[in-house]
Amino acid sequence: MALYDKVMELSKRRGFLWPSFEIYGGTSGFITYGPYGVILKHNIENLWRDFFIYKQENFIEIETPIIMPSAVFEASGHLEHFTDPIIACLKCEKRYRADHLIEELTGVNVEGLSISEMNEIVKEKDLKCPDCKGALGEVELFNLMFKTNIGAYKGDVGYARPEAAQGMFVEFKRIFNIMREKLPLGIAQIGKTLRNEISPRKGVTRLREFTIMEVEVILDPEEINNCPGFEKYKNTSISLLTASLQQKGEPPVNITIEQAVEERLLDNKWLAYFLAVSKSFVKTLGVAEDKIRFREQLPHEKAHYSKQTIDLQVYLDGQGWTEIAGHAYRTDWDLSRHIKFSGVDMRVFKKTEAPLTVKKLVLKPNKATIGPDFQKDAGKIIGELNKMDPVEVKNKLDSQGFIEVAGRRLTSKHIEFEEYEEVVKGKKFIPHVIEPSYGADRLVYTALEHAYTEKEGRVILKLPVKLAPIQVMVYPLVERDGLPEISNQIYMELLEKGFRVEHDVSGSIGRRYARADEIGVPLGVTVDYQTLEDKTVTVRDRDSWSQRRIFISELADILKQFFEEKISFDQIGYPVNKIE
């Protein structure tokens, strides 16, 4: 059995995750997390919060709706770019992008044309399938966003978000204010996202509903290379597959992020910084360094908003290098679009170091002359004049002696200018955005696959201590002579003290150890006959199967240190034979 199949078999059998709706035959692209899967996923999310929110300066987390009104996606560009017009050959059933096909076959620029207009061109020019010369069907729109109605009125169209990011952009103004108007500001979100994938496959790697973990780092484009964390990570070496290396068919290079920025392989230091943070995070999930690499998206692959995108890929059995995160430089695309579409000014004010004095020109329509001269048109003319740039108007008047406004000729007697000095204390700008974006479900699978090991025909899930769904399993050696009563007391105590702990009394002790190994429980605590004599128990290590003894009274404190990774297993209690 392939590793992938083994991991999925274990996941189903022991309750990490499985395909949803199985009793109704299943629907691809949806998964259900079971008892251990839920905890594993939460642990991964929390570890991500540590790396990408809590250990970053001025980074915070929010939660926004999954359904958003269509206006948001009009502004974000998803309605336009997430929708592909598709046309299929009726004979060979090959599918094409309708716009690309029409442009290719006719040379006509179809940008902005409606579906019916494209259909007309296909009919008029009698276009055929370039492959088999068969007749073509109707142009259809395929949008990867799930569409729905908000409320009872058909006109209120909403879409399920295909990324969490728009929630952060839409709320930027208020959050920026709450965070006392400091940049850089990191706004993070973990939440469900939906994409109506055409053919989801490969278990969890392409889902229709999945959890995304994103941070939008909002910063001043002039400060994009002023990244405080960069210094600490600048010597972090990464395996980087640039776009040009891919085009030449060459393998990735190993390079420090500092060099990569210097050689302009990475656009800026903030982007580079997150690559290093990401690498460190993914290693913490138990992925070996040689199974992590960074791949730059090729120009045609990049999203409509991206200046540069670097994917983080991990090596997975059966499907090779798989994208689990993207790092995109979204520039000011999103904020400027939302400013334009909503009419709300979300620009940020920045003080200049020393106030500047600039000369300003103000245009004043002379109503006393415009009124009599243009009568009915006067109001319109004045309105238009007020929208015009005073400097430009003055230049035109000076050079040609008149200016045309609303189809009428105005001369210098109609317009007065006033010049005054203004003290400029700063300027307004649209911030830029750097975005690390993770797929949580792929991380769960990645952690499972990289933890999966076999030993003597048994499965051991060597999950990092921080990820293990259950931390401690408590056992009586045998189910009699008062041992279960003592183990139950220990179990209750550990439960009370906040450990994720289970108590297993059924079956032989070996069988119970095996069960615990399968779900990756790092430590086992066994009450045996020696416990009755000296109040010690054994502690068993999942990975080495070795044991140490410890007094029950010290157990909780020592385990706490172990799970905080302050001590290793060998520092727990005493060697088995040292206590007499």
Q: Could you list the residues that contact RNA (CB under 7 A)?
A: 1, 9, 12-13, 19, 24-29, 78, 81-82, 84, 93, 95, 144, 162-163, 197-203, 206, 301-304, 306, 318-319, 456-459, 477-480, 506-511, 513-515, 517-518, 526, 528-529, 538, 540, 545-547
- Judged by CB, which is closer to RNA: 79, or 253? 79
Identify which of 435, 416, 321 has the alpha carbon closest to the alpha carbon of residue 366: 416
- Judged by CB, which is closer to RNA: 54, or 529? 529
Least separation, in Å, of the C-beta of 432 and RNA? 18
Identify which of 148, 144, 189 has the alpha carbon closest to the alpha carbon of residue 170: 189
Distance CA 169, CA 100 (A): 31
Least separation, in Å, of the C-beta of 314 and RNA? 16
What pairing do the DSSP bridges indicate for beta strands 403-405 and 432-439? unpaired
Q: 343: exposed, middle or buried (C-beta count within 10 Å: 0-12, 13-18, 19+)?
A: exposed
- Judged by CB, which is closer to RNA: 177, or 506? 506
Positive or negative CA dihedral for 128, 129, 133, 134? Answer: negative
Distance CA 13, CA 68 (A): 37
Least separation, in Å, of the C-beta of 508 and RNA? 3
Ranges of H-type helices in 457-497? 483-496
β-partners of residue 405 are 408
- Judged by CB, which is closer to RNA: 84, or 332? 84
R_g (Cα) of the chain, nearest Å: 32
- Judged by CB, which is closer to RNA: 370, or 519? 519
- Judged by CB, which is closer to RNA: 390, or 439? 439
**Tokens (6 digits) for 418:** 């006033």
Least separation, in Å, of the C-beta of 518 and RNA? 5
- Judged by CB, which is closer to RNA: 257, or 328? 328
Least separation, in Å, of the C-beta of 374 and RNA? 50
Contact between 541 and 568 (Cβ < 8 Å):
no
Contact between 205 and 322 (Cβ < 8 Å):
yes
Question: Scanning the structure block, which residue is given the tokens 């929630």?
Answer: 167
**End-to-end Cα separation, the chain, in angstroms:** 47
- Judged by CB, which is closer to RNA: 81, or 133? 81
Give the DSSP H/E element, type plus range, for residue 271: helix 269-284
Distance CA 254, CA 293 (A): 9
For residue 256, the Cα-to-chain-centroid distance in whole angstroms is 24
- Judged by CB, which is closer to RNA: 154, or 300? 300
Cis, bond preceding 355 (omega within 30 deg of 0): no
- Judged by CB, which is closer to RNA: 16, or 294? 16
Length reported for the chain: 580
Least separation, in Å, of the C-beta of 21 and RNA? 8
- Judged by CB, which is closer to RNA: 393, or 470? 470
Least separation, in Å, of the C-beta of 442 and RNA? 12
Least separation, in Å, of the C-beta of 308 and RNA? 13
Positive or negative CA dihedral for 279, 282, 288, 292? Answer: negative
The Cα angle at residue 406 between residues 401 and 410, in degrees rounded to 5? 25
Least separation, in Å, of the C-beta of 93 and RNA? 5
- Judged by CB, which is closer to RNA: 12, or 347? 12
Helix (H, G, I), strand (E, B) or coil at 348: strand
Distance CA 379, CA 279 (A): 63
Least separation, in Å, of the C-beta of 509 and RNA? 4
DSSP 286: T
Torsion of CA 287, 291, 297, 298, to 10 degrees: -170
Least separation, in Å, of the C-beta of 42 and RNA? 23
Least separation, in Å, of the C-beta of 403 and RNA? 44
Least separation, in Å, of the C-beta of 264 and RNA? 23
- Judged by CB, which is closer to RNA: 366, or 547? 547
- Judged by CB, which is closer to RNA: 189, or 259? 189
Q: 168: exposed, middle or buried (C-beta count within 10 Å: 0-12, 13-18, 19+)?
A: buried
Least separation, in Å, of the C-beta of 415 and RNA? 48
Q: Contacts by 229-235 with C-beta closer than 8 Å and gap 24+?
A: 229/56, 229/273, 229/277, 230/257, 230/258, 230/269, 230/270, 230/272, 230/273, 233/257, 233/273, 233/276, 233/277, 233/280, 234/258
For residue 136, the Cα-to-chain-centroid distance in whole angstroms is 38
**Tokens (6 digits) for 410:** 């105005």
